Structure formats: structure tokens, C-alpha cells
Structure 1
Amino acid sequence: MYSETLAPEPVRAAVRCLWRSAPAGPKRIVPDGCVDLVAGDGEIFVAGPDTGAWSSITSPGATLHGLRFHPGAAPAVLGVAADELRDRRLPLAEVWGRRGELLTDAVLSGARSLTDVVAGREADLDPAVAELLAHLHTAPARVGTPAAAVGERQLRRRFTVAVGYGPATYLRVLRLQRAIALAPRAPGLAGLAAGAGYADQAHLSRECRALTGLTPSAYFSRV
């Protein structure tokens, strides 16, 4: 079971949603371009932006809950560049030291919530990064060059620090997420590829294997 709720107003600028999951067994997590703060099963950890699938394994009957940051928002809250978190799962105590240990104990005991942990630590997103993120969410075929008032190389570096990987990889992740959203009503894999913005079905197949570890037939039958 998995559910999402809107983040409370005080943290909504930085947090996309709160979520809760009670998996019956190992769960395949695929890239979504976000950083999560996750609590449950006796720990709190930061899940960095992924470039491939990983399996979430919890103790029988364990429930996980977390908050998902908007792309680019996590570094200002956590004090760590997103690319340093890429493909990693780090205990909060490792990220924040003694303060992280105390907050972990407080959240796991029920004395504090995850939103308490991040409240008041938000900061405005780099305008150039925000502009590029908005451009990529329009589903372009290629990254292109938005009209940011910084050089392309500098913008790519700032984007990578904020989001966790470069614009081209982020665009690939967005395309996969569009395919996941469209899959339940797509008229076959060729239609899914066209609707999600892939060049053709072969393109969808290559990207699905790279990002999920499965063929489209195997992966989308589970969605």
C-alpha cells in the first residue's frame, strides 16, 4: 500500500508531498528526480536522486513514511549538494551529526514529525535552475538552452548541485515518469512511447532497461 498527501503549508515551498508505504515485500524504486527524507523500520535516512532502480526491503509489517522534496529544493534544507547524495541512502545522523541523531530519536519516538525536521530551513531556488526545471517540464525533445542569464556550463553545474544530476539525465527521468503515468491507458508500447515523448518504441525499451532494470513489457505490467 502506498499513499501521498499534500505537504503542510509551512513546508510546501520545499516539500512536494508526504507519503506512507506499507510494502508486502521488496519494492522496486525507480528514478523520479527527487530527494526523500524517509523514516521507519528503526531509522531515518536521506534517499538521494537515483539514476537506476533499487529495491526497498523492510522488516515484515514495517511501515515507512517520508517527505519528498521538490526537485532542486533539498540542498538548501539539508545543507548537502544533491549530487553528493546521488544513488545513496544516508542516515540523517551521518548528514547532520549529533543533531541528526537527536532528531532521529525524536521522530521515531513520535515526539517530532518529519515536517518539524525541515520546517524553517527552506530557501529560494536558484532562479536560473528554476527556469531550466520549468523548461524541462514542458517535455522538450532535447534539453535546449533556456534564456537564463548565466553561461551554459555554469548553469549545468548549478543544476547538477541542486537537482543531483545534469539536465539531460533529468529529462530522461521525466520522460520515464510520464510513461509511468500514461501506462494504464496507453494503447500498447508503441503508443506509450509516442505519448511519453520517446523517438520510437526502441528508444523506450533502451531507456526503460537503463532506468528500471526491466524490459518495458515486464516493468509496465507492474505499474
Structure 2
Amino acid sequence: MTGRRGTAHHDGVYRELPPPEALRDLVRCLWSGTGSTRTIVPDGCLDLIVGDGRVFVAGPDTAPWRSEIAPGRPIHGIRFRPGNAARVLGVAADELRDRRVRLTDLWGRAGRTATDRLLTDPSALAGIVAGHVRSGPDPAVDRLVGRLRGGASRVGEAMADLDAGDLGVGERQLRRRFTVAVGYGPATYLRIARLERAIGGAAAASGLAELAHGAGYADQAHLSRDFRELTGATPREFLGWR
């Protein structure tokens, strides 16, 4: 599997489902599987996860980490679209960066109630999220996320294409809002988006040089450096290429 909780190296079952229509501006997918020893790589998302007798939020990662759910144990989650988790969780995404936080620590009594329900019925994830939406989306942040995911080679290019002034927000303020909403600044998110493009395009690439060019890297060395830092492996190791 690929994506937020994905890697080319895994031994657990995993599947994704689209969110309910009412949550599609907020949630990327619902997912379920079993615990494994897979390496989990950054993708700019936050997840609300039910597994191993607990309910917790996995914040936006800047480095690879190992799954904390025991192999073979069932696990369920809901993955927020980049920049939208705070609308439900009520805490800035950058406060959750590289952290795993129990829902009870974020929501108090409401978190205990939600945890009890989810441990009994993980399929209630979408309903719990729908019932805790606190605000609407930030159009400026959403549009910048889209530009960075869409293939911009530099943050400045994405900003120029976006023209933040037309949205009634200056560049400095937009960068600050982006960090609060996404969990890290646009430059870090661009690296992660580029990695996702590389992973997604690997099947169609004839080699690392073509893969690097197609994903927007300056060259093959740039791709290799980011893979090592964000996945803990070389591109060939991570992708299973010989």
C-alpha cells in the first residue's frame, strides 16, 4: 500500500473506503487493517485511530516510524485531508507534529465518551468526526495545499500561482496559517507531496532518473536524499526495485 500509513514494506492487511459525502471536504478516507511491522512514512495527514484498546491521534510526521499496533490486531482509522484536522480536533496541527496523542487528552470528558463508543464500535468514526466539526475550511490553505500537491517545484512558485492577495491574506500570514493547519510549513509539505508523487509514479517509471524528473525533483540525487530522510531507506529499497 502507499500513502499516509503506507509503504512498500508491510505485512498487514489494509483497505481504504471513501468518506461519507458530507465529510469529503474534511476527510481523505476511512481505513481498516491489521497491525504490522510496516514502516509508516509522512504524507501530511493526521489520523484518528482505534486499535489495541485505545483511541489516539497520529499527528503529521516528518520522519518514518514503526506501527505501534501489535501484528495481527485489528486497527481502524479516519484520515483527515491536509490542513483540516484542526477543524475537528480543536488543536493546532503543529502542536501534534510527530506525536501520538490519546483522544481523551484532547477532548477531556467528550474524548472519554467517544473513546468508549469507538472501542465498542469502530465504525462510528465518521459519525464521531461529523459530530465534532468546529469550523469550516480555510480556502487559502486548501488552495495552497492543492498547488503544492499538484506539482509545484518551489513554494515561491506555488505562492505566485495562488496570488494570496486575491484571497485577502498576505504571504506571511498564509504561511503561518498553513503551519497551524497542516502541521508544518509549506516547504516541508512540498517535500512530502513530492515523495508521494514519486511513490505513486514508481510503477510507470523506467528508472530512478525518470522517476525523479516525473515527481519534480531537481535530479536523482535529490530524490535519493529525500527518500532516505523521509522513509529511512534508499528509493530502490523502499520501492522494492532490484
Taking structure 2 as the reference length, the TM-score comes to 0.87
CA distance in 1, matches of 2:164, 2:121: 44
Can you give the 5+ residue segments of structure 2 that lack an aligned partner in the other structure?
1-12
Q: CA deviation at 1:19?
A: 0.6
Superposed CA offset, 1:7-32 (max 9, x none):
01232221110011224x31111000
Superposed CA offset, 1:11-62 (max 9, x none):
2221110011224x31111000101000011111001111110000322420
The yes-or-no answer on 1:21 pairing with 2:37 is no
Deviates further, 129-138 or 152-161: 129-138
CA distance in 1, matches of 2:208, 2:149: 22
1:208 matched residue in structure 2: 227
1:7 is aligned with what amino acid?
P
1:51 matched residue in structure 2: 62
CA distance in 2, matches of 1:35, 1:109: 22
Q: How does 1:188-199 map to 2 (within 5 A)?
A: 188-199=207-218
Q: CA deviation at 1:112?
A: 6.6
Q: CA deviation at 1:191?
A: 1.3
The yes-or-no answer on 1:74 pairing with 2:85 is yes
The yes-or-no answer on 1:4 pairing with 2:16 is yes
CA distance in 2, matches of 1:13, 1:155: 20
Superposed CA offset, 1:62-100 (max 9, x none):
011100001111001110100001101001111111211
Superposed CA offset, 1:136-173 (max 9, x none):
12211101222112222111100000100101111110
* Change beyond 3 A, Cα 1:133–1:112: closer
Q: CA deviation at 1:127?
A: 2.1
1:107 matched residue in structure 2: 118
* Change beyond 3 A, Cα 1:68–1:49: same
Corresponding residue to 1:97 among 108, 119, 142: 108
Corresponding residue to 1:177 among 196, 203, 223: 196
Q: CA deviation at 1:111?
A: 8.0
The yes-or-no answer on 1:35 pairing with 2:51 is no
**Contact 2:37 / 2:71 at 8 angstroms: preserved in 1?**
no
2:171 matched residue in structure 1: 152
**Contact 2:50 / 2:122 at 8 angstroms: preserved in 1?**
no
Taking structure 1 as the reference length, the TM-score comes to 0.94
Corresponding residue to 1:134 among 114, 123, 146: 146
Q: Percent identity?
A: 57
CA distance in 2, matches of 1:177, 1:72: 17
1:221 matched residue in structure 2: 240
Superposed CA offset, 1:85-122 (max 9, x none):
11010011111112111211111112871112111433
CA distance in 2, matches of 1:128, 1:10: 21
